[in-house]
Copies of this chain bind each other. A is one copy, B any other.
C-alpha cells in the first residue's frame, strides 16, 4: 500500500546539549512536521511514501527538499513557491525543566500561502492508496484548510482511504469565534475519513459530543457511537500519565466493535516531539498490512516509545528495531 501525507514542513532549530537560546551561538537544523514525520518513518519501514506540501522557491526550500529526500520520502508532489518556511526553535528541556517551543512565521509560509490550484491533488491521490491529513492544516489558515478538505474529498471520491489526525492546538485557535469555525471544519472533514487519531477531549471539547466517562464501558460506548456516526474503521491514540517521579505511556486502538489498550510503559525521554507521529506511523503500518489490532497497537506504542529516545521529530526507527524492543526489551547493545 502506498501512503501519502498532506502537511506542513517546518524548519526546526535546536540549541545543542540542552542549552537555551540565550546560552548558545550554535543551532542544529532539521526539517520536520507531522506529515514529514509520518511518511519519513513509513519510508524507514519500507513503505513507498509521498508528501504533498509546499516549500519556498529559494535555496532554503532546496535544502529542505534535499532533507526530505534523504528520509526516503518521494517528493514528486512537493511544490516550491513563495519564500518562507514555518520555523520553530526548540530549547530542549531536562528533568523538570520543560522543552520550550518558539514558533516563527507560520501563517505566511509557502505552505500557508499555497492554494488548491497550486497543487496537483488529483495526481497525488491517484498515486497513493491512503492519505494522511494533519488537523493543524485546518487551523493554520483558510488556504491550508481548503487544501486539506480538497485532499480528503478527492481521496474519498477516488476510493482511497483517508486518515485524519485531530492534532487540535488551542494555541493556534485563540481568535474569537475561531473555535466554532474549527468545529465546523472538523465536522466537514470527518465523513471522508476511515482512520482517526484523537482523544476524549477532541470529541467532548472540540466536537462538543456528549461523552459518558462514568465507567470504562460507558466511555467505550461513547467512542463507538462516534465511530458509527462517521463510519470510521479505526480510532487510536496514546495516554500519558505523569507523576513527579515518573512518566508513563500507553496506547489504545478501537473499531466500532473492539477496544484494545496496552499496559503503561515508563518513558525515558530524549526528545518527546514527534512521538505521537511515530504512534500514528505504527498504526498505519498495521492498517495497511492488515495486522491484528493487538499486534498493531503494540507495534505502534513500541515505535512511539523508541521515538522518545531519538533526537529530533522524525522517527527514524526500522521494523527491526521495534520488533527487537517488543521481543527483547532489555538488550542495550547490538554488535
Contact = CB atoms under 8 A, between A and B. Distances in A.
Contacts of A70: 22, 66-67, 69-70
A199 interface: no
A321 B97 CA distance: 8
Interface in A262-312: 265-266, 268-270, 272-273, 305-306, 308-312
Interface residues of A, number: 80
Contacts of A87: 87, 104-105
A43 to B, nearest CB: 10
A26 B17 CA distance: 13
Interface in A95-146: 95-105, 108
B171 A306 contact: no
A177 interface: no
A330 interface: yes
A317 to B, nearest CB: 9
A244 B264 CA distance: 12
Contacts of A101: 333-335
A8 interface: no
A100 B324 CA distance: 12
A235 interface: no
Given A66-B22, A243-B330, A247-B332, A306 B16 contact: no
Contacts of A95: 268-270, 308-309
Interface stretch (A57-65, A185-193, A216-224): A57-65
A60 B312 contact: no
B59 A100 contact: yes
With most chain B CB atoms within 10 A of its CB, the pick from A18, A25, A265, A311 is: A25
Contacts of A105: 84, 87, 104-105, 108
Interface of A: 13, 16-30, 58-60, 62-63, 66-67, 69-72, 83-85, 87-89, 91, 93-105, 108, 169, 171, 242-245, 247, 265-266, 268-270, 272-273, 305-306, 308-312, 316, 321, 324-325, 329-335
State the 4 A-B residue pairs at the shortest beta-carbon distance, nearest first: A95-B268, A70-B70, A242-B330, A101-B335
